[in-house]
Structure 1
Amino acid sequence: MIAVGQLRVEYKENPLGLDIRNPRISWQVSADERDVRQQAYQLQVAGAADFGSVWWDSGRVESGDSLHIELKELELQSKERYYYRVKIWDQHNRPTEWSGAAWWEMGLLSPEEWTAEWITAPLACLAEDAEQSPLLRGNFQVDRPVARARIYVTSLGLYELELNGARVGDTYLNPGWTSYSHRLQYQTYDVTPLLTLGDNAAGAWLGNGWYKGNLGWEHRKHIYGNRTALLLQLHLTYEDGTEHIIGSGPQWKVLPGPLLMSELYHGETYDARLAQHGFSLPGYDDTLWTPAEILPYDKNILLAQENDPVRAVQELAPVALIRTPAGETVLDMGQNMVGWLRFTVDGAAGQEYQLRHFEVLDQGGNVYTDNLRTARQTVTYIARGGGRESFQPRFTFQGFRYVQLLGFPDPLDLQDFTGVVLHSDMEPTGTFSCASALLNQLQHNILWGQKGNFVDVPTDCPQRDERLGWTGDAQMFIRTAAYLMNVAPFFSKWLGDLAADQREDGGVPYVIPHVLGEEAHSSAAWGDAAVICPWTIYQCYGDKRILEQQYSSMQGWVEYIRRQGSGGLLWNTGVHFGDWLGLDAKADSHVGATDRNYIATAFYAYSVQLMEKTAKVLGRTEDVEKYSQLHHRVKDAFNQAYILPAGEQGPATQTACVLALMFGLVEGEAKKRTVARLIQLLEASGYHLTTGFVGTPYLNLVLADAGHYEAAYKLLLQTDYPSWLYPITRGATTIWEHWDGIKEDGSFWSKEMNSFNHYAYGAVGDFLYRHVAGIEQTEEGPGYKQFLIQPHPGGGLTSAAASLESMYGTIRSEWTIDSGTIELTAVVPPNTSATVLLPDALLAEVSESGMQNGQQLEQVPGIHSAEQLVQTVKVTLGSGEYRFQYPLPAPCNLPA
């Protein structure tokens, strides 16, 4: 049976509130037979799920495309819901049944449709520098039965919304963090079930958030504005077909609420005695509330939610209650997590409880908060009294494993505390496991590093007074991130902010959104996120539109570099982070020993090469030629300046070797010398890395590409400092910022810059998926339309498995070695093809589960070809599940 399912619009299932005028449809094909390919499709759009009246019909379209089919002919209307369905024909011209109906609903498509007004607390009610957060409320009437009700809402600062006493939605930290001066997201909610005939009421909480609150280590506040505000519009469609719009305005009222302080870095202080119970219910007495003030603010920057919102994705129970040697009471959550603690207390009115969140215990086993710098990460709750009462924060998040409890009387019940894990609610897509418990823990730590740092923007760390969208960290990790979760909406939104914050001369700020100083821009390997990230999203998801949307930003960055250095070919000017935190750095320096101009020119060449490829994908012929020539010239200049003078020795550092090899900057003898030099440097270090942020993500990849798998595995499996596994031996549950964040004697690297949840070095996950398990994309088949399964067993591992939920369906590679025999399972989704490379195999000795007696491998259903290569058998497959088995031959028996 062949069927169509998993229908998506712009990556989302039944999305509410789109403002993309030409949305794109994707689907998956499922089949219980091998080698299924789509030959044609038909797509219908209707106004109802029964498709009684079809509004648009593509007819039969001869195409194998099933991703990102753009609806160009439809003229979409604001607030309208559109139902759609798909059928396909396979390569044998067999049609499927129609898929089930899916839908999307449009939001507000033009600023003129926003008739509501921005409202804020009058300054007489709350001064600009007041720490206390306001509550807002408004009453309205519903005089007829309602068929459909939608709220469109956003805020300056963060908001939480209630309607008739019920919380609206299940998301947090809305409207998210964007380049607020240029782009501000709004959210859409279906509130039909929450309305009643007659009197109704809406209420909102506002918090400082990223808009008004403390950002960065320089204690800056009010970066975007000094007053929080709400913009809310309720659209009612009655059963009789009439419509009514109700908006925020001067009829709303404001009161300082029980949230006395709310800051992302510092936590919250909540006085339950000031709680306004029922303030979002009709009939609530608001005579002491103050009329809201209208705040003039631009509505032209509004756009519908682009990325996946932040949700409470998981809950953790504390694993232990600790009494430290210093007498402190501490909860151990067992996992370095990001979110907050929900807790229950039973105390007298006015009793104060404090929770101080931190990552690690110090050398003596006591509370350690020095690495948080000025971030307080403290939640203070003042009880209302009169029985058990529960609380969790609203407008903050903490990075922590441990929580110090102050003011909590003994005995404590661990069941009164629950860790709530927050992050952008991205679809999980990747799994990896193997025979090594330490590598499995490394995979766990990489995943939790992504969870903790993908909170609406890709932050560097989630705990100290930073939590900024560092561009370098993002581009280093994006490929690994795309294995673990569907990050396309997440990065599409962030790249929109990058383009918005990009300088007129093409320079790219260090952090996005940009909140640092005027000169904080355009470091090599950091600004290159403008080019690397869109290209990676295109490769991983087949998303051509991201290249179209970001093209001017990508080009702006490359042209910025071209204007900086010598003759437009060497980038030897400017301020750069270099190989940040490289272990070969000089004393008292954070910058590794690799020449910064070398790094800058290497990344320049790489970005130019990606521009050439992007122009080719988009059919920009003149730019293809332009950037092809520029790439060759930059590459030649790089070799003249940095490679040839080095003679036989080659580049001087591990990172220098890695970049030259990863970016294809050396060829022939120069490439051989560079590989040899890298191995020499690794041998000299006892197969320990000395690389920093720039070299580490690529180190194992270039070793694998050069055929030095033994060296790559030696690096991967080291357990002493410096290595990926050393932190695990010290109890790490996330990736550290420093290889020796905790030293072997239990002391710390530094208190100034020592995050224990810093995802950049987790980029080694790319190697785990690509080479250990063996799932690898190809440039010719973006989105995994065509891909490789190429595992490389080594390091004494006896098994490894990875799966990836691609846009086409599940890809899986799983291998085991037992008694000298390898078994490899490969799963290829319908409408794709794969090339499987069987390591150390002889063609005559490879069998597959579908073979019959005497049958050749290439005669097996679904297998298109099989051939012997040097030390490898190459098999090309259509879709299906395949199980290959063969003995490991002695090396001397392998064909030359």
Structure 2
Amino acid sequence: MTADPPAVRVVALWVGDRGRPEFLATARPTVSWAVESEGTDWAQRSAQIEVRLDGVVTGFDLLGAGSQRQPWPARDLAAYESAAVRVWVRGTDGSASALSSWVEVRTGPLGGDDWRAPLITPAVAADAWPERGTARFRTELTAPAGLASAVLSVTAHGLYEATVGGVRVGDELLTPGWTAYRDRLAFQTHDVTALVRAAAADGDVVLAATVAEGWYGERFGFDGNFARAYPGPVALAAQLRLVDEAGAVTWVTTGPDWTTSVVGPVTSASIYQGESHDARLDDDAAAVPGVTLPAALPARLLADVLTDDDAADHLTAARLVPASSPPVRVIETLPVREVRTSGSGATILDFGQNLVGWVRLRVDGRAGTVITLRHAEVLEDGELGVRPLRFAKATDRYTLRGDGPEEWHPRFTFHGFRYVEVSGWPGAFDPADVTAEVVHSDLVRTGELTTSNPLLNQLHSNVRWGMRGNFVSLPTDCPQRDERLGWTGDIQVFAPTASYLYDTAGFLGSWLSDLTVEQARSGTVPIVVPNPLPFGSPPGAAWGDAATIVPDALYAHYADPEPLARQYASMRAWVEDLRAIAGDSNLWTGGFQFGDWLDPSAPPDKPNQARTHSDIVASAYYYRSTAALTRAAQVLGCEDDAHTYAALAEQIRLAFVAEYVTPAGRMMCDAHTAYALAIEFGLVTEPALRARLGANLAELVRAFGYRIGTGFVGTPLMTDALTRTGHADVAYRLLLEQGCPSWLYPVTMGATTIWERWDSMLPDGRINPGEMTSFNHYALGAVADWMHRAIGGIAPAEPGYATVAIAPVPGGGLTSAAASLDTGYGVVTVDWVVEGSAVEGTGVEGAAVQGDGSTFTLRASVPANTRALVTLPGADDAVEVGSGEHTWTCALPAPPAVDPAPWTLDTPLARFMDDDVARSALLAVLAEVGFFFAAGWTADGRWRSDTSLRQSLVMLSLDAIATIERTVAALG
């Protein structure tokens, strides 16, 4: 009797990117689904996608295993159209699922061709605008009888909040977000049918909006030299499409018939400076028909305000694009953890977590009472540490209305903070009346990692919180000071980490579109995107390379060729820029470079003065970008380009090795980042030479006491370069070091996000004196990518995780780890445990092995329709398995035997570094005899295997040397 095929179910179906706005941004969205099967090794043989359009259901057959980001099978969707999609699948084992539930999708306007509403602004003289003021807009309309649909689309020069009948539209914040405004202005679309019907029940409907300056009107720059980047006053464009039951369409659009005002409760608002709100100025003008705005003014077309040059950029409908990135929302709230009273008598609230957002107040007091909120990430001497904010005031003020309990939070600013100083609170303060609202782009969480080491868990949490705080509409460097810019160098190193933690396809895809238009406008990739800075910059290695590396990272995680095709011209243009610079030498040398930015050896005021020469960094990135472009050309079928750029990449690689790598395996610049670049970028391919480079890198890491010796460029590469060349033990020692500089030093200092500098806070609790001292900067957290792959054991064996590589690398004293990743196909889970010693285990699902170390047990869950390549510790080959639950056990090799040689003055310093007890005893006796040179051995990289203790003892008396010798000999 033949057993029935295992049951199979379509458990998730989505159209477009996960986390996207409600209304589609494209006429041809992709279709994705996930499957669960009760059996093992389930693979899809075929699928059928059914699309319902105009009431007609059409089925489209799909052969093969594809279930992620499948092309839209039906005709292109039109603007303001609805459709529905469902799927059923059949397995290679003959199983078949039932039809999934319908997923409804909608479009609003799909671009400028579907837009009919002009930008309007208050008819006020330029010199009459309130400083950091806001504008209010209002119109009244009569809803048609038998209203069937009401769809509102809105955008602004500035940040807008729209209301219908006095009720806020949607839950999206800081709209329309920050894009490359000269070329791309996003708009949001909302279904407001229920709001219009509710308001129409009482008569006419009031459609209103408040617009603040936001990023559009912010002053950008450095060192106090700030200026607006975008022309003209704040402005609003909105179009409301009303459809009755008969299908008749009525349009309500912004125009000169609207009324406006620059007087309202939001008296000032600024991204950097904060927001002030006077509740006494609240009125019903935004909700009640027949009520006029205070100090009402007619609306004026923005076209009549801008100069001809500005209008050429800022009035073209072609720049209007539907929002595609996940919206910014309030994601969670945090209570006050502790109320402190500072030495100056200030009341300071500690939320226990460095976060991004604002605080919400619940308060009752007399009219005119002003509550002031000042924000900071850290305390210094018990007071708010505001110096790192530079020129940003990060201060909110709320003036009470005074007619009973009131609740308020800012709407047009955000802050990076853990601490809030509160002044002016009426009566006794109750911390329950204040909560912190965490605000960022609402991305879908995909990746998790926990380990048996609490410090590593906190480090991983810090990485995630740092990403959350800097993914607010775009990927910024920091969220608190007078900067908050989309630095290209930061995101190119962090993109793989980000794409494990969250689904970043829509978020980074939108940002890459901004990069493309800014690149075309600037003539090269600018250092920040969007680019509001008043100065140009030449191409910069590791920063401009975001043009190639971020698309490459997205393809590795999502295997979607469409964004790669969209970015291909940008990728190619960047490589051609570098090709022109390098010329026949095939090396990128000279000129200004950021280099290995914020190498810990660099002076606080010269962060680009790293140990690794910038020419090595630049040429290595030239190779990496060319290699990424080659891969893109291969994926897209651009055969001529693939051949051309593969040959160019090889020429660059050979030139790099000839110029910077000695036959003995040393880099001409004997620094951590130089070795890591050569290994991890694949510049050195000859196995023996790579092995020598890895050994020299491991020696260098040990010589510097396992302290960090890298900046933004080298940090993401170090642990991988060590692990790849057989030095995972050194990688773990580097990761677990707690002295400064290290990844765990900030954790031991109470950090809850990743810092900009390794020593943003000094060991004595004082803030680093450098002008750039952020306590929320995700770039150095890019080590989490290695943690996900080496500790968690999850990596893509092919783009998009159709085949996942499961290869955990135990070490560092960890006894367990657990990781999971929602790949779209389903959730891959991996957890492993190390137990006991000297056991016989089973190898790959039953293959017997014998070892004399601890027992390693690995459990993995592989989603349906995917496969896994599993490599156990110590194994040379991977074993391929299909979907389902799997368990393996093997014996780990015993740790290396302890060196039995006696401890003497001739013992290498490297051996002391690797033995915590011996090193502590040595440093103690050196301090006792007053040998203070030893205090610099770590910073100077003196813990070398070719340097003995005796060789390092200079200018000491014979008695002191004898004391040291006796202490060392007593070590055994």
Partner of 1:562: 579
2:120–2:255 CA contact under 8 A, matched in 1: yes
Match of 1:674 among 673, 693, 707: 693
Which deviates the most, 287-296 or 252-261? 287-296
Counterparts of 1:379-418 in structure 2, within 5 Å, are 379-418=396-435
Counterparts of 1:270-669 in structure 2, within 5 Å, are 270-286=277-293, 289-296=296-303, 297-362=315-380, 364-503=381-520, 507-567=524-584, 569-585=586-602, 588-591=605-608, 592-644=610-662, 651-668=669-686, 669=688
Aligned positions, number: 855
1:115 aligns with 2:116: yes
Partner of 1:821: 855
Displacement after TM superposition at 1:538 (Å):
0.6
Q: CA-to-partner distance for each residue in 1:549-574, whole Å, 9 max, x for gaps?
A: 00000000000011112426110133
> Using a 3 Å threshold, how does the CA distance of structure 1 residues 503 and 574 change in structure 2: closer, same or farther?
farther
Partner of 1:709: 728
Counterparts of 1:125-140 in structure 2, within 5 Å, are 127-128=128-129, 130-140=131-141
What is the CA–CA distance in structure 1 between the aligned matches of 2:468 and 2:163, rounded to whole Å?
27
Displacement after TM superposition at 1:352 (Å):
1.3
2:151–2:241 CA contact under 8 A, matched in 1: yes
AA aligned opposite 2:414: F
Partner of 2:275: 268
Q: CA-to-partner distance for each residue in 1:501-556, whole Å, 9 max, x for gaps?
A: 00468521000001123323421001000000001001101111111000000000
Output the TM-score relative to the length of structure 2: 0.86
SS of match in other structure, 1:827? strand
1:357–1:403 CA contact under 8 A, matched in 2: yes
What is the CA–CA distance in structure 1 between the aligned matches of 2:550 and 2:207, rounded to whole Å?
40
> Using a 3 Å threshold, how does the CA distance of structure 1 residues 287 and 579 change in structure 2: closer, same or farther?
closer
Partner of 1:834: 868
2:186–2:320 CA contact under 8 A, matched in 1: yes
Which deviates the most, 563-572 or 351-360? 563-572
What is the CA–CA distance in structure 2 between the aligned matches of 1:710 and 1:423, rounded to whole Å?
37
1:355–1:405 CA contact under 8 A, matched in 2: yes
Counterparts of 1:774-793 in structure 2, within 5 Å, are 774-778=793-797, 781-793=798-810
AA aligned opposite 1:212: G
Q: CA-to-partner distance for each residue in 1:162-219, whole Å, 9 max, x for gaps?
A: 1011110001000010000000111010111111344111110101011112234355
What is the CA–CA distance in structure 2 between the aligned matches of 1:10 and 1:558, rounded to whole Å?
30
> Using a 3 Å threshold, how does the CA distance of structure 1 residues 727 and 204 change in structure 2: closer, same or farther?
same
Which deviates the most, 520-529 or 108-117? 108-117
Which deviates the most, 341-350 or 398-407? 341-350
What is the CA–CA distance in structure 1 between the aligned matches of 2:150 and 2:747, rounded to whole Å?
51
Partner of 2:711: 692
Displacement after TM superposition at 1:720 (Å):
1.2
> Using a 3 Å threshold, how does the CA distance of structure 1 residues 32 and 422 change in structure 2: closer, same or farther?
same
Displacement after TM superposition at 1:129 (Å):
6.3
Q: CA-to-partner distance for each residue in 1:99-139, whole Å, 9 max, x for gaps?
A: 11002111213534322222111124983564221111110
What is the CA–CA distance in structure 2 between the aligned matches of 1:102 and 1:14, rounded to whole Å?
14
1:154–1:230 CA contact under 8 A, matched in 2: yes
Which deviates the most, 227-236 or 289-298? 289-298
Partner of 1:741: 760
Match of 2:702 among 683, 689, 696: 683
What is the CA–CA distance in structure 1 between the aligned matches of 2:741 and 2:669, rounded to whole Å?
22
Larger helix percent: 2
What is the CA–CA distance in structure 2 between the aligned matches of 1:253 and 1:661, rounded to whole Å?
64
C-alpha RMSD of matched pairs (Å): 1.9
Q: CA-to-partner distance for each residue in 1:224-248, whole Å, 9 max, x for gaps?
A: 1231111111111111222211111
Identity of aligned residues (%): 40
> Using a 3 Å threshold, how does the CA distance of structure 1 residues 298 and 38 change in structure 2: closer, same or farther?
same
AA aligned opposite 2:882: G
| Structure 1: gaps of 5 or more residues | 841-868
> Using a 3 Å threshold, how does the CA distance of structure 1 residues 82 and 418 change in structure 2: closer, same or farther?
same
SS of match in other structure, 2:581? coil
What is the CA–CA distance in structure 2 between the aligned matches of 1:300 and 1:589, rounded to whole Å?
43
1:159 aligns with 2:165: no
Partner of 1:29: 35
1:200 aligns with 2:208: no
> Using a 3 Å threshold, how does the CA distance of structure 1 residues 113 and 62 change in structure 2: closer, same or farther?
closer
SS of match in other structure, 2:485? coil
Match of 2:238 among 232, 235, 251: 232
1:773–1:800 CA contact under 8 A, matched in 2: yes
Q: CA-to-partner distance for each residue in 1:55-105, whole Å, 9 max, x for gaps?
A: x331x3212111111125503211010111111111123322111100211
> Using a 3 Å threshold, how does the CA distance of structure 1 residues 732 and 891 change in structure 2: closer, same or farther?
closer
What is the CA–CA distance in structure 2 between the aligned matches of 1:663 and 1:806, rounded to whole Å?
25
What is the CA–CA distance in structure 2 between the aligned matches of 1:837 and 1:487, rounded to whole Å?
28
Output the TM-score relative to the length of structure 1: 0.93
1:90 aligns with 2:91: yes
2:163–2:207 CA contact under 8 A, matched in 1: yes
Displacement after TM superposition at 1:645 (Å):
8.0
| Structure 2: gaps of 5 or more residues | 1-6, 304-314, 837-853, 898-972
Partner of 1:854: none
Partner of 2:771: 752
Match of 2:738 among 716, 719, 723: 719
1:202–1:281 CA contact under 8 A, matched in 2: no
Match of 1:876 among 880, 886, 902: 880
What is the CA–CA distance in structure 1 between the aligned matches of 2:523 and 2:766, rounded to whole Å?
43
SS of match in other structure, 2:219? coil
SS of match in other structure, 1:697? coil
Which deviates the most, 69-78 or 31-40? 69-78
> Using a 3 Å threshold, how does the CA distance of structure 1 residues 891 and 598 change in structure 2: closer, same or farther?
closer
Displacement after TM superposition at 1:281 (Å):
3.1
AA aligned opposite 1:748: I
AA aligned opposite 1:578: G
- Structure of larger gyration radius: 2
Q: CA-to-partner distance for each residue in 1:261-307, whole Å, 9 max, x for gaps?
A: 10001101111111123523334344852221111222221111110
Which deviates the most, 531-540 or 748-757? 748-757
2:605–2:771 CA contact under 8 A, matched in 1: no
1:57 aligns with 2:59: yes
1:14–1:104 CA contact under 8 A, matched in 2: no
> Using a 3 Å threshold, how does the CA distance of structure 1 residues 763 and 315 change in structure 2: closer, same or farther?
same
AA aligned opposite 1:882: H
1:331–1:405 CA contact under 8 A, matched in 2: yes
> Using a 3 Å threshold, how does the CA distance of structure 1 residues 462 and 587 change in structure 2: closer, same or farther?
closer
Displacement after TM superposition at 1:890 (Å):
4.9
> Using a 3 Å threshold, how does the CA distance of structure 1 residues 275 and 447 change in structure 2: closer, same or farther?
same
1:342–1:390 CA contact under 8 A, matched in 2: yes
2:16–2:24 CA contact under 8 A, matched in 1: no
Partner of 1:797: 814
1:199–1:282 CA contact under 8 A, matched in 2: yes
Q: CA-to-partner distance for each residue in 1:809-855, whole Å, 9 max, x for gaps?
A: 10111001222322211111111100111114xxxxxxxxxxxxxxx
1:11 aligns with 2:17: yes
What is the CA–CA distance in structure 2 between the aligned matches of 1:693 and 1:133, rounded to whole Å?
39
Partner of 2:964: none
2:365–2:426 CA contact under 8 A, matched in 1: no
